[in-house]
Structure 1
Amino acid sequence: MTMWPDPERQLIARYIAGLNLRTTNSPIYYRQALNIFQDVAERHARLDKDMLVAWLNVSPGRWAATTRLHRTRIIDRFLDHLEETGAIERNPVAALAEACNIKQCKPVWRALASSDPDSALAELHQPRPFGSILGKMMSQHVTLMRNRGYKYTTQTVWLSRFDRFLQLNPALQGQPIAVMLQHWSAAKTTRNHPNECEKLKRVLAKILRHQNPSIPPRRPDPRPEKEVARQWRKPHIYTPADVRRMLDIARFYPSPRAPLRPLSIYTMLLLAYCAGLRRSELARLDLGDVDFQGGTITIRQTKFYKTRILPLPDSVMIELRSYTEARRCAGGSQDPRSGLFWHEQRSDRYTKEAVAWLLVDVIRRAGLKPPQGRTGPRLHDLRHSMVVNRILEWYKAGINPQAHLPFLATYLGHRDINSTLVYITVTQDLLHRASERFRVLGAPCLNIGPEVRA
């Protein structure tokens, strides 16, 4: 086994050769960065923090700050490769991130590049997950609920925030849980914090009852949730004209380095609106999930571990067929398990974060959302719009929407129609259609003859 640094620099050559870089200049940049990094490593006896700081101090004379940050990504991937192949015992950057209890390496590089790396690393340090006096109890409960088949992600976030608060306030460690919760409730003034505290109290009450069934059940307080619902912004319902404008923008989305991306965004937007798919469902679609013969797509293991098969209109299937053909011509993998929405530069599927960023950017370019900030229409409003516009089409066709709500709930992946009712936003057009249907069908029932009045 070859150890690093190796005098012949064969590890660097083999590593770069195995990356399959697309541009001719990329291997040159990679080789330059890695050779400089090895030059510094050969002058130091150990691969540690001091060596990383020394490399960063050499870099400013060669590269601008943004270029140096990009080179740190190259070094990160190379160190991960060395650790995987056994050429080094441990990636020192990952070790520093683990010591600080953070997941990303970029903050570590920023701290090392500062004027005082030790102080900057100390400021990065985060409390250990579930390290408070209640941490063991909460961690065991999370494990129990996940073993029972629940995802339990949101509740874990609530418990983790409360645990971090307790670690940062050691004076509360010996206090009763009620006192801890009282201080946690006063710690933030955000709009949703009282509602989150109420939900946290319910979870903690459940944990305590699991340990001691004789504890009486806690009576929930519905007021915080109602207050949040009262302040929550109303979904934006995109009109068919809005959707057409967004589709036109997506088809000609500027992407000179990834020619397939405009068609990918166009198809994502089409499925997000026509099938009401969530961004995570779009990102998880595989090539084999599209059935052109049956005219369906399969949405696997979504919210609450459900899988559903959705029929699509012929027009949507034609667009899907065009996209898969363009994807094949662009060199996309034909493995049925590969991502349907394939990223040319990464040779992998788009992540849900990338899907959200691209589609939101299309909404901004269409002039429906401000250029910056979180205000304005959301990506998830496409799902709301699909529901409202589908009900409008039922009204126009003379179909009773109430009788078809169970089918719509199944199509959206809901457990029952109660979840679907949240998506029904009463617009002026929808209210007019409902009133017209009542006038035609319900109003004659109110006409009472003279013999009845007598």
Structure 2
Amino acid sequence: MTARWPDRDRTTIGRYLASLDLRSMKSQTCYRQVLNGFQDVVERHGKLDQHVLVAWLRISAECWAATTRLHRTRIIDRFLDHLLKVGAIDRNPITALREACNIKQCMPVWRALASRNPEKAFAQLRRPQPFGSVLGEVMAEHVALMRNRGYKYSSQSERLLRFDYFLQWNPALQDQPIGVMLEHWAAEKATSNHAVECENLRRILTKIFRHRDPSIPPRRPDPRPQKEVVKHWRKPHIYSPADVRQILDIARSYPSPRAPLRPLSIYTMLLLAYCAGLRRGELARLDIGDVNLHSDTITVRQTKFFKTRILPLPDSVMIELRAYIHARRRAGASQDPRSGLFWHEPGRTRRYTPEAITWLFLAVIRRAGLKPQHGRTGPRLHDLRHSMVVNRILEWYRVGINPQGRLPFLATYLGHRDINSTLVYITVTQDLLHLANERFRAVGAPCLNLAQEVRS
């Protein structure tokens, strides 16, 4: 640690608190109390290491409850990151402990430090080295190969890592055939989701070893685990046009005294989620430069499967979007084309995250009475995308358009590779079933009668 921190006059803490721009006096007092107490402990020990962290936690236990103490560790995390960034310390002890344990989060490290026996807690917390098993090198090479080909390969990599950790925790399996390893892995859990993971793992491993030895015969996939999981999937809620109007009305009157632009932001986000079928991540990533007010289009960049699409919007949606952009400008938001379209007022330069969009939407539909006040049951934000598809097909039926010929256009608008992905969004409702039957009665039934006349 350099001599720049801890400093006797506490100017480092003062400058750090000023950079946070804390609006509440209570928050400023809390931050200052936590950081001053932490510096007192560091000054007494003279070295910023694991023992200092343990000492601070034990002293803090005298005045704070366990949950409060762990919550205050986040203040220390941010402060240590700041000190490392400005060069006031040479190393962050929390980061060093995370790297030693091969974990990404800080909170498990603090829980281990706060335990009665930190050494024993860290021994249980440490995870094996990634791809350190007998199959680790082969799997790591395959992940690198697929990523070099342009694939994200994130979920497959996580699946291979979980299997790799399992092999490292069970060294007796290291010399067994792969079939035996997979049998023990499948027996770890009896859930249907784990059965799907095991089937996907078998498929990936077969692909890996066939790349290395083409003489290995291909493996026939087993669709049964996936079908079993699909049976338990939650059926999407299809919002009626009346439900959508109610949600939009509540969004415009959403109470937000500290952020006056927020109600209009929520309203515009929900409007695009329903009328353009945007995912929550696509809403969060929209920039002000992605809106073209001359051609009445928005550009959705680098979404699922690395695709970018330009979506034309109806005049009614563009009127609302222009009104929001005008209100956003009056509120003092950045006009940089790369700044977030949906601007979070207190942050000045921040955009809404996908999690914040979901939280706000859930608050709106709970106010509308469409979702219980507590729990995860009921409609979701993504159900607006399902509703957009179903209601669009219903409208095509009502005006006499055959939806089958329009599905490729709908798939392109939604950002799908083909109509097979779009078919998942077609939930059969009573209205849809009735209109489909009416179309069959008007178009298909005469054909059947004609066939009977020809046979007679």
**TM class, shorter-chain normalised?**
over 0.9
Match of 2:37 in 1: 36
**1:229 paired to 2:230:** yes
Could you tell me how far apart the structure 2 residues matched to 1:152 and 1:53 are? 39
Could you tell me how far apart the structure 2 residues matched to 1:258 and 1:240 are? 29
Match of 1:127 in 2: 128
Could you tell me how far apart the structure 1 residues matched to 2:365 and 2:174 are? 48
1:286 deviates by 1.1
More deviation, 62-71/398-407: 62-71
Match of 2:246 in 1: 245
Match of 1:349 in 2: 351
Could you tell me how far apart the structure 2 residues matched to 1:124 and 1:215 are? 39
Structure 1 residues 422 and 451 mapped into 2: Cα distance closer, same or farther (>3 Å)? closer
3-state SS in 2 of match to 1:18: helix
3-state SS in 2 of match to 1:234: coil
Deviations 1:28-76 (A, max 9, x none): 4333322222111111121111111222233344555555444322221
Could you tell me how far apart the structure 2 residues matched to 1:327 and 1:32 are? 37
Please, which runs of 5 or more residues in structure 2 have no aligned partner?
none
1:269 deviates by 1.8
3-state SS in 1 of match to 2:299: strand
Match of 1:420 in 2: 422
How big is the alpha-carbon RMSD for the aligned residues of Structure 1 and Structure 2?
A: 2.4
Could you tell me how far apart the structure 2 residues matched to 1:81 and 1:451 are? 84
Determine which of 434, 437, 442 is the counterpart of 1:435: 437
Match of 2:361 in 1: 359
Match of 1:320, as an amino acid? L
Match of 1:80, as an amino acid? D
Structure 1 residues 216 and 56 mapped into 2: Cα distance closer, same or farther (>3 Å)? same
Could you tell me how far apart the structure 1 residues matched to 2:128 and 2:257 are? 44
Match of 2:269 in 1: 268
Determine which of 379, 382, 385 is the counterpart of 1:380: 382
**1:208 paired to 2:216:** no
Deviations 1:90-135 (A, max 9, x none): 1111222222222111222233233333333333323332222212
Could you tell me how far apart the structure 2 residues matched to 1:228 and 1:244 are? 34
Match of 2:73 in 1: 72
Deviations 1:243-290 (A, max 9, x none): 223223333334444333333222222211111111111111111111
3-state SS in 2 of match to 1:345: helix
Could you tell me how far apart the structure 1 residues matched to 2:269 and 2:45 are? 50
| Alignment: residue pair count | 454
More deviation, 219-228/179-188: 219-228
Could you tell me how far apart the structure 2 residues matched to 1:194 and 1:137 are? 23
Could you tell me how far apart the structure 1 residues matched to 2:291 and 2:181 are? 51
Match of 1:88 in 2: 89
Match of 2:418, as an amino acid? D
Could you tell me how far apart the structure 1 residues matched to 2:343 and 2:109 are? 31
Match of 2:20 in 1: 19
Q: Is the 8 A contact 2:192 2:225 kept in 1?
A: no
More deviation, 163-172/64-73: 64-73
Please, which runs of 5 or more residues in structure 1 have no aligned partner?
none
3-state SS in 1 of match to 2:21: coil
Could you tell me how far apart the structure 1 residues matched to 2:258 and 2:174 are? 55
Match of 1:105 in 2: 106
Normalising by structure 2, we get a TM-score of 0.92
Matches within 5 A, 1:172-187: 172-187=173-188
1:450 deviates by 11
Q: Is the 8 A contact 1:22 1:345 kept in 2?
A: no
More deviation, 104-113/116-125: 116-125
Q: Is the 8 A contact 1:142 1:152 kept in 2?
A: yes
Could you tell me how far apart the structure 2 residues matched to 1:327 and 1:65 are? 42
Deviations 1:277-318 (A, max 9, x none): 111111111111111222111100011110001111222222
Could you tell me how far apart the structure 2 residues matched to 1:118 and 1:265 are? 48
More deviation, 404-413/40-49: 40-49
Match of 1:152 in 2: 153
More deviation, 34-43/20-29: 20-29
Could you tell me how far apart the structure 2 residues matched to 1:141 and 1:391 are? 42
Match of 1:165 in 2: 166
Could you tell me how far apart the structure 2 residues matched to 1:101 and 1:23 are? 37
Matches within 5 A, 1:393-412: 393-412=395-414
Match of 1:339 in 2: 340
Q: Is the 8 A contact 1:286 1:338 kept in 2?
A: yes
Structure 1 residues 345 and 73 mapped into 2: Cα distance closer, same or farther (>3 Å)? farther
Match of 2:296, as an amino acid? G
